[in-house]
C-alpha cells in the first residue's frame, strides 16, 4: 500500500524461493539474484537461514510504510516456526514503528498445533494473512488473502495487472470448501503423529548413524530429513527397500540442501558435506501408516 | 526477454485497460496513470484510439529489443482489426529493426473470418501469440501463450514470481479442450451473422436516428453500439422493451465510451455528447436469434 516502504524478508521466504523446488546452493544463488527484480519493492533480507526471524534482526531498522513478512512455518529450513513470544515481540516492534506485519501462512494450519492456539488468535497479530489450499489441506490449487478492504482491493488490482487474475476461480473455490470440511480438524493429530515418529526414529541407534532431522524436533506437520551419502547411493538403497519390502521411504531427494549461511555474503558456503535431504509431510495418508512400518522400512 | 527494450502499445491495448470493464473517460485517465507502473517495461503509447495501429506510427522508432504489441481485434474501439497488408508491413518493420511482434489475440478467432485466412497464417507473422479461452470460445477461464521455448520458460518463471501461477490448471485445460471441440468451426458463421445484423439495422431509417455502430461495419464478431440519450433514459427504454416483449437488448450499458482522442495529451477530450454505448458479441447464443427478432426489439 505504501510505495516508499521496504519489504523485510527472511532468507527462507518463499518470496525469495518462489521456484523453491529447484533446491541446493545453486538455486540459492539464483534466487538471490532474482529477488532484486521483484517489482515495486525494495527487499531487505534479514535473519539467519537456520533459525526463524528474531526481533533483534529488526531492531531499530523499521520505518513507517515498511512491511515485515513472516513465513509460518518456514518450509525451506524444515518447517521451523517462530515462538509465540517472538511473534508478540515482532508485532510490538512493527506496531511501534508504523510498519506492517504480513503472514505468509501457506502452511499456517500445519503450524497451529505447535502453538496450541486458535488460528484466530495467531492471525490477530498480523495485518494481513495468506493461506494456501493446496498444501496441508490437499486442495487442487489456490489461496486465500485476509486483509483490510483497501488492501484486498489493491491486491485484486495488482493480481489483474500482473497477469494473475482468472475470469473465475469457481473450481478452486468449490474444492477448497470441500478440503476445509474434510481436513480442518486433522492437524493436531498429524502434528502429534510426526512428533511420535521423530522420537521413535531418533531413539533407534542404528538410524542415528546416517539420519538426522531438521529441526531436531518438529515445529509443524512438516520436517526435513538429512541422510549421509551421495544422491546416487541413497537412491539405490531406496530402490532396494522398495523392491524388498514394497515401502517407499521418500518421494524425491531434494539435493544437498541450502547452505546454513545463505543469508551471509559467502555464496560458496555449503551444507554439511556428504548429505542429502528430503521433505517429509505428515499428511492425511502418512498419518494412517503405523510407526512400526516406518521403522521396518528404515 | 530483453531488459532494455521498450513496449509499444496502442492506446486501446488491454495492457493499458487491464480493468477495462470500468469504462469512460475517467477510466481512461486512470489507466494511463497505472500503465506507468507496469514492472520492468518502458511503455510507449503509439497510434490513435479510433483506428488500428498503422506502420507510420512505428516508422523509424524501433530498435533491437523493442516489442510491438498488436491487439487483434481491438476490443476497446469496437473490435477494429488491422488490415492484412498492415500486418505484413508492421512485420517487415519489426524484423528489419530487430524488434519483436507480439499478438494479444485474446479474440483472434473472432477476427479470423475478417481475414478469410487460416489462423496459422496469421500467427506466422508474430513472434509470440496469446489466445484467451473465455472470450469467443466461452470457456471458464485461462489462456494460451505460443512462443519460442525460451520465451515460454521465461514467462512461466515470471508468472510464478508475480503471483499468477496455480498449482494446477487442470480444470481450465479440460474445459478449454471441450470449448475448442464445440466452437472452433463456428466463427465464420458468427461473423457473417453479425454483418447481416448490422446491415439490417443500418438500413432501418427509424433506427439510424438514435443508433450507430463502431466501426460502421464489423471487423470481427464483436462491435460497439452507440445510442443517443442519457444512461437513465436509455435504461428506462430498455426495461420498457423487456417488459412489453420479453426481449433484452443489451446486458449492460458501458457509459459514454472512451474519448477518440485518448492517446493525445488532451485529457479532457470527450466522446460524442449525449451518447452511451454497449458491447455486442455475436456468440453462439446470439447467433441463434432470428434477425427479425432483433428488429422487433428495436
pLDDT band, very low/low/confident/very high, at B258 (cuts 50, 70, 90)? low
Q: Pick the residue of B171, B173, B174, B178 with the most A CBs within 10 A to test the interface with A by mutation.
A: B171
Q: What is the dihedral of CA B135, B138, B141, B143, to 10 degrees?
A: -50
Cα B259 from Cα B32, distance rounded (Å): 13
Cα A263 from Cα A12, distance rounded (Å): 9
CA separation, residue A228 to residues A71, A76, A272, B121, B220 (Å): 28, 19, 9, 57, 64
Confirm if B256 and B276 have CB atoms less than 8 A apart: yes
Q: Give the closest of A142, A161, A163 to B159, CB-based.
A: A163
CB contact (8 A) between residue B164 and residue A168: no
Q: Give the closest of A18, A39, A142 to B166, CB-based.
A: A142
User: What is the pLDDT at residue B261?
Assistant: 52
The answer for residues whose C-beta is within 8 angstroms of residue A170's C-beta and 6 or more apart is B140
User: What is the pLDDT at residue A243?
Assistant: 95
Q: Pick the residue of A39, A43, A179 with the most B CBs within 10 A to test the interface with B by mutation.
A: A39
First to last CA, chain A: 51
Question: CA of B69 to nearest chain A CA: how many angstroms apart?
Answer: 16
Cα A7 from Cα A12, distance rounded (Å): 14
CA B18-B21-B27 angle, 5° bins? 75
As a whole number, mean pLDDT of residues B278-286 equals: 93
Q: Give the closest of A19, A34, A166 to B141, CB-based.
A: A166
pLDDT band, very low/low/confident/very high, at B35 (cuts 50, 70, 90)? low
User: What is the pLDDT at residue A262?
Assistant: 52
Quote the strand ranges of A63-157, DSSP E.
67-71, 100-104, 128-132, 143-146
CB contact (8 A) between residue B37 and residue A40: yes
Higher pLDDT, B11 or B169: B169
Cα B78 from Cα B81, distance rounded (Å): 9
CA separation, residue A261 to residues A32, A49, A266 (Å): 13, 6, 7
Question: Which residues on neighbouring strands pair with residue A68, listed in sequence order?
Answer: A8, A101
Q: Give the closest of B134, B162, B170 to A164, CB-based.
A: B162
Mean pLDDT across chain B: 86
In this structure, the number of other CB atoms found within 10 A of the CB of residue B188 comes to: 14
Any CB–CB contact under 8 A between B202 and chain A? no
CB contact (8 A) between residue A38 and residue B172: no
C-alpha cell at A296: 521396518
DSSP reduced 3-state for A60? coil
Question: CA of B25 to nearest chain A CA: how many angstroms apart?
Answer: 19
User: What is the pLDDT at residue B85?
Assistant: 96
Per-residue pLDDT tens for A63-93? 999 999 999 999 888 999 999 999 999 999 9
Look at residues A130, A112, A110, A134 and name the one whose alpha carbon lies nearest to residue A121.
Answer: A112
Quote the strand ranges of A50-146, DSSP E.
67-71, 100-104, 128-132, 143-146
Residue ranges per structural domain of chain A: 6-184, 186-297
Chain A residues with beta carbon closer than 8 angstroms to that of B161 = 18-19, 34, 37-38
Cα B285 from Cα B61, distance rounded (Å): 44
User: What is the pLDDT at residue A22?
Assistant: 40
pLDDT band, very low/low/confident/very high, at B269 (cuts 50, 70, 90)? very low
Confirm if B221 and B106 have CB atoms less than 8 A apart: no
Q: Give the closest of B40, B164, B169 to A39, CB-based.
A: B40
Backbone angles phi, psi at B224, to 5 degrees: -100, 140
User: What is the pLDDT at residue B267?
Assistant: 43
User: What is the pLDDT at residue B38?
Assistant: 52
Any CB–CB contact under 8 A between A142 and chain B? yes
Mean pLDDT by 10 residues, chain A (298 residues): 75 66 48 53 80 90 93 92 96 96 96 96 97 90 94 84 82 93 94 97 93 95 94 95 94 77 46 80 94 93
CA separation, residue A82 to residues A51, A53, A54, A219, A227 (Å): 9, 7, 8, 9, 26
The 8-class DSSP code of residue A42 comes to E
Kindly provide the ipTM of the predicted complex, given to two decimals. 0.72
Any CB–CB contact under 8 A between A162 and chain B? yes
In this structure, the number of other CB atoms found within 10 A of the CB of residue A91 comes to: 18
Cα B242 from Cα A37, distance rounded (Å): 53
Any CB–CB contact under 8 A between A157 and chain B? yes
CATH topology of domain B6-184: 3.40.640
User: What is the pLDDT at residue B17?
Assistant: 66
Contacts A–B by Cβ distance under 8 A: 67
Sign of CA dihedral B189, B195, B196, B197: positive
Backbone angles phi, psi at A82, to 5 degrees: -55, 140
Per-residue pLDDT tens for B49-102? 888 999 998 988 999 999 999 999 998 889 999 999 999 999 999 999 999 999
Look at residues B220, B159, B225 and name the one whose alpha carbon lies nearest to residue B193.
Answer: B220
User: What is the pLDDT at residue A3?
Assistant: 61
Nearest CA in chain B to A160: B18
The residue behind cell 427509424 is: B206
For A186-297, give the CATH class.
Answer: alpha beta
Asked if the model's pLDDT at residue B249 lies above 60, the reply is: yes
pLDDT band, very low/low/confident/very high, at B21 (cuts 50, 70, 90)? very low
Any CB–CB contact under 8 A between B22 and chain A? no
Confirm if A73 and A215 have CB atoms less than 8 A apart: no
Backbone angles phi, psi at B130, to 5 degrees: -115, 130
The 8-class DSSP code of residue A80 comes to B
DSSP reduced 3-state for A104? strand
Sign of CA dihedral B103, B13, B258, B56: negative
CB contact (8 A) between residue B166 and residue A160: no
Task: For the sheet with B222-228, list strands across it.
Answer: B211-214, B222-228, B275-281
Task: For the sheet with A275-281, list strands across it.
Answer: A211-214, A222-228, A275-281
- Bin B126: left if φ > 0, else alpha if -120 < ψ < 50, else beta: beta
As a whole number, mean pLDDT of residues B116-139 equals: 94
Report the greatest alpha carbon distance in chain A.
61
First to last CA, chain B: 51
Look at residues B94, B19, B103 and name the one whose alpha carbon lies nearest to residue B69.
Answer: B103
pLDDT band, very low/low/confident/very high, at B23 (cuts 50, 70, 90)? very low
C-alpha cell at A19: 521456484
In SS3 terms, chain B reads as CCCCCEEEECCCCCCCCCCCCCCCHHHHHHHHHHHCCCCCCEEEECCCCCCCCCHHHHCCCCCCCCEEEEECCEHHHCCECCCHHHHHHHHHHHHHHCCEEEEECCCHHHHHHHHCCCHHHHHCCCCEEEEECCCCCCCCCCEEEECCHHHHHHHHHHHHHCCCCCCCCHHHHHHHHHHHHHHHHHHHHHHHHHHHHHHHHHCCHHHHCCEEEECCCCCCCEEEEEEECCHHHHHHHHHHHHHHHCCCCCCCCCCCCCCCCCCCCCCCCCCCCCEEEEEEECCCCHHHCCHHHHHHHC
Cα B193 from Cα B207, distance rounded (Å): 19
Question: Which segment of A210-224, B156-170, B255-269 scores lowest on mean pLDDT?
Answer: B255-269
Higher pLDDT, A45 or B152: B152
Chain B residues with beta carbon closer than 8 angstroms to that of A159 = 163-164
Amino acid at each position: 500500500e505504501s510505495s516508499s516502504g521496504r519489504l523485510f524478508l527472511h532468507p527462507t521466504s518463499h518470496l525469495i524461493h518462489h521456484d523453491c523446488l529447484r533446491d541446493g546452493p545453486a538455486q540459492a544463488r539464483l534466487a538471490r539474484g532474482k529477488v532484486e527484480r521483484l517489482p515495486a519493492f525494495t527487499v531487505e533480507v534479514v535473519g539467519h537461514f537456520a533459525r526463524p526471524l528474531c526481533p533483534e534482526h529488526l531492531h531499530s531498522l523499521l520505518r513507517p510504510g515498511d512491511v515485515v513478512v513472516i513465513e509460518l512455518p518456514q518450509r525451506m529450513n524444515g518447517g521451523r516456526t517462530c515462538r509465540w513470544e517472538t511473534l508478540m515481540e515482532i508485532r510490538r516492534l512493527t506496531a511501534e514503528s508504523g510498519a506492517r506485519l504480513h503472514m505468509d501462512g501457506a502452511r499456517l494450519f500445519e503450524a497451529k498445533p505447535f502453538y496450541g492456539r486458535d488460528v484466530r488468535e495467531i492471525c490477530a497479530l498480523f495485518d494481513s494473512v495468506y493461506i494456501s489450499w493446496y498444501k496441508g489441506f490437499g486442495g487442487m490449487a489456490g489461496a486465500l488473502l485476509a486483509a483490510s478492504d483497501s488492501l484486498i482491493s489493491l491486491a485484486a488490482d495488482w493480481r489483474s495487472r500482473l497477469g494473475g487474475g482468472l475470469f473465475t476461480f469457481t473450481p478452486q473455490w468449490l474444492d477448497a470448501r470441500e478440503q476445509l470440511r474434510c481436513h480442518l480438524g486433522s492437524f493436531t493429530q498429524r502434528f502429534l503423529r510426526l512428533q511420535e515418529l521423530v522420537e521413535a526414529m531418533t531413539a533407534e541407534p542404528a538410524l542415528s548413524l546416517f539420519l538426522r532431522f531438521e529441526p531436531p524436533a518438529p515445529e509443524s506437520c512438516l520436517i526435513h530429513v538429512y541422510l549421509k551419502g551421495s544422491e546416487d547411493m541413497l537412491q539405490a538403497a531406496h530402490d532396494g527397500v522398495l523392491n524388498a519390502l514394497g515401502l517407499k521411504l521418500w518421494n524425491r531427494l531434494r539435493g544437498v540442501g541450502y547452505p546454513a549461511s545463505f543469508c551471509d555474503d559467502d555464496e560458496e558456503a555449503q551444507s554439511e558435506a556428504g548429505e542429502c535431504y528430503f521433505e517429509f509431510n505428515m499428511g492425511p495418508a502418512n498419518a494412517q501408516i503405523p510407526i512400526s512400518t516406518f521403522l521396518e522400512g528404515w
